[in-house]
């Protein structure tokens, strides 16, 4: 199905969604499925590259199942059983937990193809997708300051266009130009991460476990230095491995190091037979920011709603963004559908203001715990002790896996689930 060709330079809809990544496409899918007229505006054309580890936890897998995506091996998806953790001289392989709320497997898929599948699914549900539609700014009601649409430049010719709707949803990623234009700036006190990755031809491409290395060392000085982050190796099943690292801004090393150089040095320390050498690299090293723990708010005001990275929904415990992008899209759509059914503008506005409250109730306590975790592991000594001693206790690491991946049964569950859920419940929902 091809994207809709724009012939009119002015269009109207019930809702405009800016950005057709996981957050935007999921939002558009559920809105269109409920019968709303949705415009989904994507600045590039599919397929398109995005920096990602390409590994999906059971939390993201659940969202794909809910959207009706074919996640079979025949459709090109590679399943994984769990997480292999390496650090402190230990190597521990943990299966994803067996839960009622989530499947017991994750998936791997390249982002260029992954994002397109979600966008096409939104189209099939009825969303009107415009590719090569670069949103340039908001249209505002001069009296109220409320957003009433967006301006854009279309196609190779950059034809000016305008789109109108009583509600606009920003799903335009970490930089979120639309949010900035509406004076929604990042909260610098919230954690931020950076991910860098590349691909290698490798015999390790068929691995049914995601692999996480808890110790990243900067070996270029007189003394080795442990860095606040982790490395990953994800087999893609297509002859390549996605190899990358994620770093937190909770250390002085965050700004002073070139993380592409750190990735190169880390790869050079790997066994040569794995193939993580420059001649086997299939593309450049690319990087992206990871906005964490509600680092941009309010999530709704003046007709603009934020989903996914635009609202800082990345999990501070493990840097996972796709699951929370899709979940926030589904939450947003549910709120919008209910608001759309209200009789008056005041009632609709009241219903829309429930969105930030639902996000806070769903993630606030857990993200507060994650912020504390980020500060803690910013100390290299803490990180080193945690890796060396924690990995020698499989039961403790199973608890940690559930905590970091946010994989618990919300009702009932085992003792670990009850402890994690209880901590999230009593933690400040900020």
For 149-162, the pLDDT digits (tens) are: 999 999 999 999 99
Most confident by average pLDDT, 23-37, 183-197, 200-214, 403-417: 23-37
Nearby residues of 339 by Cβ (< 8 Å), 6 or more positions away: 167, 347, 348, 349, 351, 352
Taking a C-beta distance cutoff of 8 angstroms, is the pair 24, 329 a contact? Answer: yes
Taking a C-beta distance cutoff of 8 angstroms, is the pair 18, 170 a contact? Answer: yes
Handedness of CA 105, 110, 112, 116 (dihedral sign): negative
Confidence of residue 5 (pLDDT cuts 50, 70, 90): very low
pTM: 0.94
Q: How far apart are the C-alpha atoms of 226 and 384, rounded to whole Å?
A: 8
Higher pLDDT, 127 or 375: 127
Give me the CATH topology for the region 15-81+106-188+292-372: FAD/NAD(P)-binding domain (3.50.50)
Judged against a pLDDT cut of 60, whether residue 193 lies above it is answered with yes
Q: How far apart are the C-alpha atoms of 165 and 163, rounded to whole Å?
A: 7
- Per-residue pLDDT, 129: 97
Taking a C-beta distance cutoff of 8 angstroms, is the pair 397, 95 a contact? Answer: no
**Residue 332 Rama label (left phi>0; alpha psi -120 to 50; beta):** alpha
Domain ranges in the chain are 15-81+106-188+292-372
Least confident piece of the model among 173-177, 263-267, 371-375, 379-383:
379-383
- Per-residue pLDDT, 77: 94
**Across 88-191, where does the E strand assignment appear?**
90-95, 106-108, 128-130, 133-140, 147-154, 159-164, 167-170
Average pLDDT over residues 385-396: 79
Judged against a pLDDT cut of 80, whether residue 204 lies above it is answered with yes
CA-nearest of 282, 198, 275 to 232 is 198
**Across 202-299, where does the E strand assignment appear?**
209-213, 216-218, 225-227, 229-235, 240-248, 286-291
Mean of per-residue pLDDT scores for the chain:
91
Judged against a pLDDT cut of 80, whether residue 388 lies above it is answered with no
Q: What is the DSSP letter of 212?
A: E
Q: In what order do the strands lie in the sheet with 300-301?
A: 128-130, 38-41, 15-18, 167-170, 304-306, 300-301
Q: How far apart are the C-alpha atoms of 283 and 147, rounded to whole Å?
A: 40
- Per-residue pLDDT, 9: 60
Question: Which residues are paired to 281 by β-bridges?
Answer: 200
Handedness of CA 252, 257, 259, 263 (dihedral sign): negative
Q: What is the DSSP letter of 341?
A: T
Q: How far apart are the C-alpha atoms of 17 and 29, rounded to whole Å?
A: 11
For 269-326, the pLDDT digits (tens) are: 899 999 999 999 998 999 999 999 999 999 999 999 999 999 999 999 999 999 999 9
Q: How far apart are the C-alpha atoms of 230 and 265, rounded to whole Å?
A: 14
Question: Which residues are paired to 10 by β-bridges?
Answer: 162
For 55-107, the pLDDT digits (tens) are: 999 999 999 999 999 999 999 999 999 999 998 788 899 999 999 999 999 99
Q: How far apart are the C-alpha atoms of 21 and 325, rounded to whole Å?
A: 9
Name the phi and psi angles at 39, rounded to 5. Answer: -105, 125
For 340-371, the pLDDT digits (tens) are: 999 999 999 999 999 999 999 999 999 999 99
């Amino acid at each position: 199905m091809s994207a809709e060709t724009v012939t009119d330079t002015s269009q109207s809809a019930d809702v405009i969604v800016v950005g057709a990544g996981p957050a935007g496409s999921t939002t558009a899918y559920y809105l269109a499925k409920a019968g709303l007229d949705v415009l989904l505006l994507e600045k590039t054309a599919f397929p398109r590259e995005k920096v990602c580890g390409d590994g999906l936890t059971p939390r993201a897998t659940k969202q794909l199942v809910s959207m009706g995506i074919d996640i079979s091996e025949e459709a090109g998806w590679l399943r994984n059983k769990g997480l292999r953790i390496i650090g402190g001289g230990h190597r521990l392989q943990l299966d994803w937990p067996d839960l009622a709320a989530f499947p017991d497997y994750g998936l791997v898929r390249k982002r260029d193809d992954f994002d397109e599948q979600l966008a096409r699914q939104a189209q099939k549900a009825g969303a009107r997708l415009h590719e090569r539609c670069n949103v340039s700014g908001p249209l505002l009601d001069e009296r109220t300051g409320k957003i009433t649409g967006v301006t854009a430049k279309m196609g190779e010719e950059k034809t000016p266009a305008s789109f109108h709707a009583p509600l606009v949803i920003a799903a335009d990623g970490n930089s979120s130009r639309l949010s900035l234009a509406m004076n929604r700036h990042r909260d610098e006190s919230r954690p931020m991460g950076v991910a860098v990755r590349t691909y290698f031809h490798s015999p390790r491409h068929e691995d049914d476990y995601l692999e996480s290395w808890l110790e990243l060392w900067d070996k270029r000085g007189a003394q080795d230095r442990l860095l606040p982050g982790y490395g990953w190796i994800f087999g893609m099943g297509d002859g390549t491995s996605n190899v990358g690292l994620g770093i937190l801004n909770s250390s002085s090393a965050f700004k002073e190091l070139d993380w592409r150089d750190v990735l190169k040095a880390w790869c050079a320390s790997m066994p040569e037979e794995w193939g993580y050498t420059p001649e086997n690299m299939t593309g450049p090293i690319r990087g992206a920011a990871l906005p964490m723990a509600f680092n941009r708010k309010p999530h709704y005001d003046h007709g603009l709603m934020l989903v996914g990275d635009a609202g800082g929904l990345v999990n501070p415990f493990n840097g996972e963004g796709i699951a929370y992008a899709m979940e926030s899209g589904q939450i947003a759509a549910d709120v919008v559908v209910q608001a759309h059914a209200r009789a008056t503008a005041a009632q609709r506005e009241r219903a829309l203001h429930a969105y930030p409250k639902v996000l806070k109730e769903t993630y606030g306590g857990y993200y507060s715990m994650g912020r504390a975790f980020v500060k803690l592991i910013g100390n290299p000594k803490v990180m080193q002790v945690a890796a060396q001693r924690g990995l020698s206790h499989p039961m403790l690491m199973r608890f940690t896996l559930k905590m970091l991946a946010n994989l618990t049964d919300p009702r009932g569950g085992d003792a670990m689930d009850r402890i994690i859920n209880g901590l999230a419940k009593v933690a400040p929902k900020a």
